[in-house]
Chain A
Amino acid sequence: MKPLSNMLLHGLLFSAFTLHILFVLLAIGTTILALYYFIHTWWGGRLKELRWDKEILRTFLAHKSLAVVLGVGPLLLIQVAFSVPFFIGVNLFAPFWILVIVFLIIAFLSFDALGHKLYVHHYLHLGFGILAFISLLAVPGIFVAVLVTVENSDKWLTIIHKGYKLSSPLALHWLFRYLHILGAAVVFGAAFHYFFSTENETGKRRTMLKWIVNGILLQFILGIMLYSSLPEKPDQISNVSLFVGVIGAAVFLSLIFSSRNKATTLKMKTVLPVLLLILVPMLLVRQFIQDKKLMPLEKQLQANAKTYQKELQSYHQEALNTYEADIHLVYDNGETIYLKSCAFCHGEKADGNGTEAKSLAIPPEDISALRTTRFHLRQTLIDGVPGSSMPYFTFFDRNKLEGLADYLNRRYSVLGLPKPIPVNIPDSTLQKARETYGATCTQCHGKDGTATKLSRGFKPPPPDFMVFSLSPERAFKIVTNGYPGTMMPAFGTLPEEIRWGLVKMINEKRTV
């Protein structure tokens, strides 16, 4: 739902955008003039004199600040008026769109520094000036590209396909639209500085008038090119509005010529309305064309959103219930951490039979049978087990992992030594088991129970019997059946008492 009526929304959008564009034009126009007069003065060898370009550039601080602050409104409003098309347009040019921030900072800091009596060597001045100028001019280029994209929804898939490129007719449209903004910047910038930076000097005023006249003539040519490059021919109301704007431009020209003939100066109270008579209808044309393109799409999207919302309604309560349960769950104790982060594999009873155990080729360990050291348990939690589904758990801080270890120990006595084997076997059998271990098991488990050169690379590697053991029953089961999914084979063909002997000798390898 939109928070205000369409009428009000679009009215506000248009007014805020007009104000924004006015100051954008003044800011860009100011930099064009300042850079021109810096080079001009330099060529004339008059850099040591009072510099006009500095005088002009001094006003940049206010123009750009107002352009930015007045740009926030339209940004807010267009995101509400045409949310989906706008966000998509922005996204399709995302890297450039994000770079706008960098460009603006470079341009603003450099121009403000140069405009505020920061006297630097003229080569540096020129270098900074050009860098700032290019950065600043990139910004309207990106904005226009985004707007052209927003307005042409039929091209979205092509644009994402081609990677941030506008196809040729749109590229041409973009170019003329962009140049038209620069032309307007020259006219508006020169008109501003005619009143505010010429200090009533006739010579300076005359040059400003030249900029304005040439600018307007250029705008006529660019305007015709832009008009012919429009993807769709504008409707009647756009044409009428355009006509009014052109009349405004003509009136402005005639004012200038008559003042020149009569050798009088222009008055701000006559120029300002004329400038608005140009700006407002021209921007209205833009708005009409945009609305014509986007309104039907926006309507369709709104309808889609409504249907989707209805579809989601049936899941609403379920989602809220899950959320409520989640926010009352605090992962600050071993039990919660075990039940939420471990139990789906290792099982609520820690017997290795979690709900997901059957999905795993290497079954989760039976933790209730685990007998190890605190250090080794922690190390396993920190590193995980490579080549298995057992991940690392360092997304919990140390206290939490200690809490988990304490919980497991409290519940299943995992920290400590395994119990003796439940059967009695004679020494001769134990000796045979030792021989079997030496002949068969040492290749992977090593003489002392640690992984060998060969087995260290296994995924997962064999456990270190010096710090890790299992209850005799569980160890016997593994010796007999092997450990599925790992290199550990089954030794069920060995006599049962040898297997018990193996368990006994393995569990005796624990040094800590």
Chain B
Amino acid sequence: MGFPIFQVPYLGNGMTIALNAVLHVIISHGIAIGVMTMVVTSEYFGFKRSSKDWEELAKELLKPAVIVITGVGAVTGVGIWFITSALSPRGIGSLLRIFFWPWFTEWIAFALEVIVILIYYFTWEIWIGKRKRQHIYLGFSYILFALISAFLITGILGFMLTSDGWAWDKNFWSAFLNPSFLPQLLLRISGALALGAVFSSVFLFVTHRRYAFLKEALRFFGKIFLASFLGAMVFSWWYFAIIPSTFKTHTIFSLLTSRFSQQPEIFYGINAVGISILFLFVVFSLRESALLSKMLIIPALLFSIGFVMEFERVREFIRGPYLMPGYMYVNQVLLEEGPLLDKEGTLQNSYWYNMTANGADTLSQGACLFAQSCSMCHTIGGINDIRERVKGRTEDGLFVILGHAHEMIPFMPPFSGTDQERRVTAHFLYQLTNEKISLGTPSRFTPLKGGGIE
């Protein structure tokens, strides 16, 4: 029966998912794996070297980490699921069925991860003396569960950019262990440790420490950062070497968008500045120049987060028209469904659009078709505003462009529907762009009410 479509005003559906996802990645990687590794290692140093400084740092760093991991990290993680189940139900529904068991296992790993971190947190002052060693083991077992969780989720979500295999055999393992799996997993882990080192350095600077210890800790985090940052560079090179060129070629556009796509030097420039700042920061940290690295800590933090966002943006964008390779387009139309819909029509098959009530109302049909085909990426009046995209085009031009959208703009899915439906959509877009119609409820062009068009 299909699903009704909800369009998030201004942000758009894709951007809403992306914002939540990026926040989740920063926390799940940077804090849940990164900072927590630093916490457990610091606790270990405190124990091994009988250092009160390391022990205190670990304990103080743990509290905000636990609050953020359980309060924001876990919620945004479930949040990705929440948002996609409302905005892209067919996509998430299909993924769930293919990956049911790894997802179920991932749930168990996630549950254990949270249970262990809670025990770790609440037993800090209880498991002391002889039991301290056990407490440290518990910390390391937390990291193990976090890594298992990362392993599973990378397998589940990482197959979208590698085209060979799953589309043909629909075999679970060809999806899970796709060629990009290993480089992506290693990239994520090294990125997590790098972020963790930067976050921990920030924590060092905003809390009070003995100066000698501050320098010692800074040097240690600097070492971790250097190793993991170099790792992240190597693994991202490996990852992108595996991604098919058909996707990879849109990398620069994915970051610069239409607005800056003609100035690629912006892309190279910002990346070069970012890498240089991070290297400078690490050099200062290793040389124990506390003042200099303190000066660079905020830019280093912003660029580290920026690189994470850059990677996720590229990865999400360049898979272009596909939500699942060889199976489903980003607007939730199945590849094999396209020809059927072109023949029989989209509205005819929609439970949510009542043809008899609105048969003559072509504008409401157009609004509904826009919602179904375009609203995953385009908004009306917000980010990636469709009116900006089609401004200046004639109605017949829009009709033609819609028919060739996928060919002309390779990261766009094809329009699915009959010629008449394409004409109706072109008419709607033309009228909308030339401000001949205004919209009632922009978030839900409730077609049953007459398309929400006043």
- By a beta-carbon cutoff of 8 Å, the part of chain A in contact with chain B is 1-4, 61-62, 64-66, 68-73, 75-76, 79-80, 83-84, 86-88, 90-92, 94-95, 97-98, 100-101, 104-105, 108-109, 112-113, 116, 157, 160-161, 163, 301, 304, 311-312, 315-316, 318-320, 322-323, 326-332, 340-341, 344-345, 356, 359-362, 382, 384-392, 394-401, 459
Contacts and interface: CB of A to CB of B under 8 A. Distances in A.
A384 B258 CA distance: 13
A80 B449 CA distance: 31
Contact of A341 (B110, B244, B407): B407
Given A101-B83, A327-B244, A388-B394, A64 B70 contact: yes
State the 8 A-B residue pairs at the shortest beta-carbon distance, nearest first.
A389-B397, A87-B89, A108-B71, A94-B6, A3-B100, A386-B392, A319-B336, A101-B79
Nearest to B406: A326
Contacts of A392: 258
Nearest to A1: B97
B343 to A, nearest CB: 9
Contacts of B111: 69-70, 72-73
A330 B118 contact: no
B381 interface: no
A315 B394 contact: no
Contact of A62 (B82, B103, B122): B122
Contacts of A160: 4, 352, 444, 446, 448
A433 B286 CA distance: 79
Nearest to A74: B107
Contacts of B446: 160-161, 163
B6 A91 contact: yes
Of the listed residues A65, A331, A387, A401, the one surrounded by the most CB atoms of chain B closer than 10 A to its CB is: A65
Nearest to A311: B340
A440 B252 CA distance: 48
B372 to A, nearest CB: 13
A84 B93 CA distance: 9
A397 B86 contact: no
Nearest to A101: B79
A79 B70 contact: no
Given A344-B400, A387-B392, 12 more contacts: A73-B104, A80-B96, A83-B89, A88-B89, A91-B86, A100-B82, A112-B71, A326-B246, A344-B404, A356-B403, A388-B392, A389-B397
B355 interface: no
Given A92-B4, A116-B63, A395 B339 contact: no
Contacts of B67: 61, 108-109, 112-113, 116
Nearest to A313: B336
Interface residues of B, number: 94
B399 interface: yes
Given A76-B96, A98-B8, A388 B1 contact: no
Interface in B89-118: 89, 92-93, 96-97, 100-101, 103-104, 107, 110-111, 114-115, 118
Contact of A398 (B8, B81, B261): B261
Contacts of B3: 84, 87-88, 91
A329 B406 CA distance: 12
Contacts of A161: 446, 448-449
A97 B93 CA distance: 17
Interface of A is mostly: helix
A72 B63 CA distance: 24
Nearest to B250: A331
A359 B409 contact: no
B427 to A, nearest CB: 14
B274 interface: no
A108 B75 contact: yes
17 contacts: A3-B101, A68-B78, A72-B81, A80-B96, A88-B89, A98-B86, A112-B71, A161-B448, A163-B441, A323-B167, A323-B335, A331-B410, A356-B400, A356-B404, A362-B394, A389-B400, A391-B397
B410 A157 contact: no
Of the listed residues B79, B83, B400, the one surrounded by the most CB atoms of chain A closer than 10 A to its CB is: B400
Contact of A94 (B87, B252, B390): B87
Given A4-B100, A160-B352, A318 B400 contact: no
Interface in B1-36: 1, 3-6, 8, 16, 20
Interface string B294-337: 00000000000000000000000000000001100000001111
Given A105-B75, A330-B249, A394-B261, A98 B1 contact: no
Contact of B72 (A62, A109, A340, A395): A109
Nearest to B1: A84
B336 A318 contact: yes
Contacts of A322: 335
A359 B75 contact: no
A395 B389 CA distance: 10
A1 B83 CA distance: 24
B125 interface: no
Contact of B326 (A72, A320, A330): A320
B66 interface: yes
A68 B339 contact: no
A157 B396 CA distance: 35
A88 B253 contact: no
Contact of A344 (B250, B407, B449): B407
Contact of A332 (B249, B326, B337, B340): B249
B398 to A, nearest CB: 8
A155 B435 CA distance: 35
Contacts of B439: none
A332 B394 contact: no
Contact of A340 (B83, B252, B335, B408): B408
A394 B264 CA distance: 12
B94 to A, nearest CB: 10
A84 B101 CA distance: 20
Contacts of A326: 246, 410
Contacts of B392: 384-388, 459
A237 B101 CA distance: 32
B350 interface: no
A398 B401 contact: no
Given A94-B87, A108-B70, A304-B1, A72 B336 contact: no
B76 interface: yes
Contact of A72 (B78, B89, B252, B256): B78
Given A323-B167, A359-B396, A90 B337 contact: no
Contacts of A387: 392, 394
B345 interface: no
A314 B349 CA distance: 18
Interface in B243-289: 244-246, 249-250, 252-253, 256, 258-259, 261-264
